[in-house]
Amino acid sequence: MESKLRRKVDQAFAKALPKVELHAHLSGSISKDTLHKIWTLKQAEGHCLDLDDPLMALREMPDIFTFFKIFDQYIYKLIDDKTALQLAVRSVIADFENDGVRYLELRTTPRQMAARGLDRRAYVETVLEAIGDRPTASGDGHTGIEVHLLLSIDRRMTFDEAAEVLDVAESFSYGSLWHQQHQQHPVVLGIDLCGNPMKGDVSVFTPLFLRAQRSGLRTTVHFAEVSESSTEKELTTILSWKPDRLGHVIHVSDHIKAMIQDQGVALELCLSCNMIAKMVKGEFADHHFGYWLRTTSAIALSTDDVGVFQSSLSNEYLIAAEHFDLDTQEIVSLSYRSIDAAFKGHDRMRSLLATFEEKYAQ
């Protein structure tokens, strides 16, 4: 008799699978329907009258060269106050939860909304409050979603701007005064380096990432996204920071691959994002996910910007199963590997996956 855990992966299995999402940008994860709802509210208030309906304005899929304009020219202009920000956060979390994600590390660049009275600190506090207002998952077997926050430094930032982001991250981290006063809310787990990979000099941020680690913050970095940012100098500089995780990891030499494995760095790999944005050549089966799958590295399939690329994490697992010939047992094993890459929640997620395995093995 064929084991249920040695069968073809279908949509129902992929959605029911308890999943870990580690590379999800808040602004890029907002669904078009939610953006439309926020736009409608703004229009009724007489705000954002220069913005077209997002259902029309954001129809075309971007490539790596047009991607960042979506945020600078549209999403950041629409999500420009506390109400819109909180609505966006709650909607994004609900969408991930409905897709079977049970552990989420959401990342965002703290923005200053001066016209609305929000500085970087107030921005982060608003996001944390929106996360904390939801029922929290714990280690008692609760099957809801557990959510944590990472703060992103944009490569276009000056050193002082990036230092301000780190200051904010530290002030909302474990053991901070804010944490002691708001223990019912989540905290900032770590920092990320993101932004247009063709901009900036990453070496500027070396002191900040080293300081973050000394402060107890975890670190993840967008890595080798385009050939222009994949010089030996840039990649070895980032690896010298001893980051916990790397995202994308596309244009890497055998030497860099060996360094990544020697350091035990975990990886966040985004299939649909890379294909749709034309960051990789060939078909899905040619994606470098196949290489890392054969290693012992901790890897986490991730969506990056599900609101933009329209591919849920369940769909990413379906794509992996289809193009890399993975059966249900291998997909469960892949989900276990993603737990190893997470910054928290390990015991709870392993318990959820074990329960899932028992159910599907019957």
| Strands 299-301 and 188-194, sheet pairing | unpaired
Q: Is 52 left (phi over 0), alpha (psi -120 to 50) or beta?
A: beta
Where do we find the tokens 């967008």?
A: 222
DSSP string spanning 24-64?
Answer: EETGGGS-HHHHHHHHHHHHHTT--TTSPPHHHHT-SPP-T
Active-site residue 225, yes or no?
Answer: yes
User: What Rg, from alpha-carbon coordinates, does the chain have?
Assistant: 20
Choosing from 125, 164, 225, 234, the catalytic residue is 225
d(CA 109, CA 88): 14
Residues 6+ apart with CB under 8 A from 304: 23, 24, 25, 28, 247, 270, 273
Residues 6+ apart with CB under 8 A from 9: 317, 318, 321, 322, 326, 327, 328, 331
d(CA 325, CA 126): 43
Where do we find the tokens 């670190």?
A: 219
Q: What are the structure tokens assigned to 247, written together?
A: 């995202």
Residue 71 is classified by DSSP as I
CA neighbor of 10 nearest in space, from 349, 351, 354, 331: 331
What are the angstrom distances between the C-alpha of 101 and each of 81, 239, 270, 286, 315? 27, 29, 16, 26, 12
Is the CB of residue 156 less than 8 Å from the CB of residue 111? no
Where do we find the tokens 């059966």?
A: 327
SS3 (DSSP) at 215: coil
Where do we find the tokens 């941020």?
A: 205
Is the CB of residue 30 less than 8 Å from the CB of residue 88? yes
Q: Which amino acid is at 198?
A: M
Which residues participate in catalysis according to the annotation?
A: 225
